[in-house]
Amino acid sequence: MALKSTIYKANLQIADMDRQIYGDHSLTLALHPSETEERLMVRLLAYALNVTADDLHGTLQSARGLADSDEPDLWHRDLTERVIHWIEVGQPDDRRLSKACGRADRVTLYIYAQAAMIWWQGMANKVTRLRNLAVWRLPADQSQALAKMANRSMQLQLTIQDGHIWVSDTGQSVEVVPEALWSGGA
């Protein structure tokens, strides 16, 4: 018998002063059986960092990610279904990133966890030819602190200013400072 995903609901209040985007967003997130809460929370953070101010040119949506190798974790498709922005979380191989860069105008990758820099050292030379790729690293202690905030029902406030992200709920707050590792123009 196959294991089923666990459903998480998140209400986000986003105040992104860097991009002048403010709004409330209700998300339903499926935690795949092979996924950790840390990865789930990094996906949620990726959503907050890339949500658009309006839906005039399509919307940012969850895709099937782990469940379908032809889809990212998140994507922004325009009204004609063209992929404007492909967003990955984790440590995909270079073939997957190359394929994503061929299918989307922009690709953003968020890496996290203790082994992220070891993975990046092995990948850096392979992806520098990908001009529409941006790679960000979330420090392991920060992504692990985010994981501790995971609940099946979440009310989160995210404030983004000067590249710093503050995520808080009723009981705790976490500061996340992503580090840019590569930006090939994305």
Tell me the mean pLDDT in the region 169-173: 95
Neighbours of 142 (CB within 10 A): 19
Which pLDDT belongs to residue 57? 83
- Among 3.10.640.10, 3.40.50.720, 3.40.50.1820, 3.10.180.10, name the CATH number for the domain at 8-183: 3.10.640.10
Residue 70 amino acid letter: D
Report the alpha-carbon distance of residue 50 to residue 136 in Å, rounded: 13
5, 16, 74, 99, 129 from 49: Cα distances, Å: 24, 8, 11, 23, 25
CA distances from 90 to 39, 80, 109, 153, 157 (A): 7, 28, 7, 23, 24
Domain positions in the chain are 8-183
Whole-number pLDDT of residue 186: 47
pLDDT bracket for residue 131 (50, 70, 90): very high
pLDDT at 128: 85
- The pLDDT, as a whole number, for residue 56 is 81
- Whether this model's pTM surpasses 0.85: yes
